[in-house]
Amino acid sequence: MSGALPGDPSREPALVTGGTGFLGRRIVERLLGQGRPVWVVARNPAPDLEARGVRFIRADLEDTDAIRASCAGARTVFHVAAKIGVWGPYGDYFRANVLGTRAVIAGCREHGVARLVHTSTPSVVYNGRDISGADESLPLTRACPCPYPPTKAVAEAEVLAANGPGLATVALRPHLIWGPKDPHLVPGILRAARSGRLRIVGGGRNRVSMVHVENAADAHIAAEQALRRPGAAAAGRAYFVTDGEPVVLWEWVNALLAALGEPPITRSIPLGAAHAVGAACEAAWWLLRLRGQPPMTRFVAAELARDHWFDITAARRDLGYAPRVSPKEAMAELVASLRVAARSAA
């Protein structure tokens, strides 16, 4: 992989942490499509990618020595890997999201990496209130009843602070990534709906931003290209990344269920009651050391009831980002893929 020509983006090697995941794999596909040398850091091998010439490095984010060493030879690092979720010990999230990101930054500096594109999250600006059409001027969260947002906020801040003459950095905040083969968002909704546990929280009119996985991958590639420009406006900045059109969350959920022939969600619970249930569940899980995730948490209650949609003007301007897959097209594609999967499982 040492034959890359300096400054030639079609040949420059790239590293993708979390490159076997939902978003990371899409980014790897884009890089391979450019004919670039690619290597991936992940916990689980991907023989199909290795068969296509991808170099696989098996490592966990907590293995900081391996993470630093993996950056050797790369000109761009896409740091996509993270510990996600809404429940668990703060220390687990801190080690993966903060210490792991520090190792990536250190590896970039030690090995002369030119660019670092960091996958952050809009949850870094969580404040427990409605967020409607907000831009990147919102402050980072300082109080959150879930360890994921504050640890990602620390990681994002450190990535942006690392921007300088030797290393150009940018952070992207894709929100509610969805699409075919999504292992998290849509499967979770369908499981909860089919079990009868899903309830509309609050008034049911809250709007949220989402981003199709292909649009999110586009934004990452666009961000790398933006960092190549002399005096790049994107360097040292964070950007929200969405499909550009907020949806009414519960209308979206029920449209998905209807397309799959499932009954709609009609039962509801006030936000205050859901928040109280979440607090009680969290207390029970901590005190009794129960396994798995509580059926409700305070963070989830707020996310299901509040507005959280974002302005992507800055990403359009500085990155040249434009959502390529429309929500209508994406929904049709998702439903078709879920029907195929259902027939295959039957």
**CB crowding 193-219: b at 16 or more within 10 Å, else e:** beeeebbbbbebebbbbbbbbbbbbbb
Alpha carbons 298 and 339: distance in angstroms, whole number = 33
C-alpha distance from residue 103 to each of 60, 61, 173 (Å): 11, 8, 20
Our answer to whether residue 148 is catalytic in this structure is: yes
Measured over the CA atoms of residue 239, residue 242, residue 246 and residue 248, the dihedral's sign is negative
Alpha carbons 108 and 118: distance in angstroms, whole number = 12
**Closest C-alpha among 278, 77, 260 to residue 162:** 77
- CA 258 vs. chain centroid, Å, equals 27
Alpha carbons 43 and 81: distance in angstroms, whole number = 10
Residue spans of alpha helices (H) in 209-309: 213-228, 249-259, 271-288, 298-305
Q: How many CB atoms lie within 10 A of CB 305?
A: 24
Cβ-Cβ contacts under 8 Å for 42 (sequence gap 6 or more): 17, 18, 19, 20, 21, 24, 56, 57, 58, 59, 81
Say if residues 269 and 296 touch (Cβ distance below 8 Å).
no
Say if residues 241 and 216 touch (Cβ distance below 8 Å).
yes
The two beta strands, 115-119 and 76-79, are parallel
Measured over the CA atoms of residue 8, residue 13, residue 17 and residue 23, the dihedral's sign is positive
Which residue of the set 93, 126, 148, 239 is catalytic?
Answer: 148
What residues are annotated to the active site? Answer: 148
